[in-house]
């Protein structure tokens, strides 16, 4: 069968995005498609597979996100922006409530972050800091800027469910080797965290008057990644909850992939405004039974969008 898709990214978090509203494939076929399309050694590659799905009475459309290993994530906020843009374009609307795996998100077009950079705001929450919601099997009710009993690190963490699980630690300087070691430990599905989790090290930069966050994340099902939208959101909430930034104040949040503007409320809602960049459109042959891909065809490229994003990146400090 032929699969058409858009190659897109949010803050450098890149995906093939499929309008799946009229596609009825068995679950194992979606898993095979995700593994094939997101394979960096394959013809497309990405940090996962995004699906624009049908909505319901209260949601204009939905989103599903599969990691490169075929596991399905509860959410992906960089992916929500990209999926929302496609939904807006297909339905001729500018805002919507988006149905996710276990929750939902509000999305709306926003003024551009920079000329030519399509920008979408998403709002999610209330997020949870209950250890049980994060998937931690510990006696404590929650973990807020404290060591996690049984975790192979003495660092202080804040555990946040977006609803996907995040462990956020504020550091003076990101040590990638340490981050990868902790991420690998979580990825093994230990008894402490059997459903695995995302681990982020966060530097607070800027000044007291204008703080900024730099986030480096080991993403569940992906590994060390240049960008994870839900990690940026979790880090924003964790920073506000621990007094490192103010609630209800927009903060610039950076990672290796780019930048978003984010804020958190005391009611545990997080708002992120960031890019939804479409790079090129493609079509590929896919065998649902075997997962084999063949005959990639690039239908069209979007050089103006790519150039606008590259120009914006050149103006920001990461």
Q: How far apart are the first and last CA of the chain?
A: 42
Q: Which tokens in the block code for residue 150?
A: 């049984």
Active site residue 76: yes
Instruction: Give the integer Cα–Cα distance in Å for 29 and 73.
Output: 16
- The upper half-sphere exposure of residue 4, i.e. CA atoms within 13 Å in the direction of its Cβ, equals 8
Active site residue 82: no
Torsion of CA 141, 146, 151, 152, to 10 degrees: 180
161 contact partners, CB below 8 Å, separation of at least 6: 127, 128, 129, 130, 133, 134, 135
Closest CA to 218 of 31, 47, 30: 47
Strand partners, 274: 120
Query: Looking at 8, 76, 82, 186, which residue is catalytic?
Result: 76
Query: Looking at 8, 82, 186, 228, which residue is catalytic?
Result: 228
Q: What is the CA radius of gyration of the chain?
A: 19
Catalytic site positions: 76, 228
């Amino acid at each position: 069968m032929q699969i058409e898709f858009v190659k897109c990214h949010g803050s450098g978090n890149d995906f093939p995005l499929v309008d799946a509203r009229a596609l009825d494939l068995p679950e194992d076929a979606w898993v095979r498609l995700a593994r094939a399309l997101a394979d960096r050694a394959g013809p497309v590659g990405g940090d996962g597979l995004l699906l624009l799905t049908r909505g319901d009475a209260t949601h204009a459309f939905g989103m599903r996100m599969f990691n490169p290993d075929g596991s399905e994530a509860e959410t992906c906020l960089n992916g929500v922006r990209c999926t929302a843009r496609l939904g807006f374009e297909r339905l001729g609307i500018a805002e919507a409530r988006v149905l996710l795996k276990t929750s939902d998100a509000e999305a709306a077009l926003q003024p551009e972050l920079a000329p030519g950079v399509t920008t979408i705001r998403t709002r999610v929450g209330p997020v949870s800091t209950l250890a049980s919601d994060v998937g931690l099997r510990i006696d404590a009710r929650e973990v807020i800027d404290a060591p996690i009993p049984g975790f192979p690190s003495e660092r202080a963490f804040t555990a946040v469910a977006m609803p996907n699980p995040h462990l956020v630690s504020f550091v003076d300087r990101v040590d990638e080797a340490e981050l990868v070691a902790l991420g690998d430990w979580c990825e093994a599905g230990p008894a402490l965290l059997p459903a695995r989790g995302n681990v982020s090290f966060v530097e607070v930069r800027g000044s007291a008057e204008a703080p900024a966050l730099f986030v480096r994340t080991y993403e569940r099902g992906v590994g060390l990644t240049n960008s994870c939208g839900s990690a940026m959101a979790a880090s924003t909430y964790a920073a506000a909850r621990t007094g490192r930034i103010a609630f209800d104040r927009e903060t610039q949040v950076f990672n290796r992939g780019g930048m978003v503007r984010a804020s958190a409320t005391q009611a545990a809602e997080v708002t992120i405004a960031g890019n939804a960049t479409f790079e090129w459109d493609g079509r590929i042959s896919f065998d649902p039974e075997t997962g084999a891909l063949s005959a990639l065809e690039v239908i069209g490229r979007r050089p103006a969008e790519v150039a606008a994003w590259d120009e914006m990146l050149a103006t920001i400090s990461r």
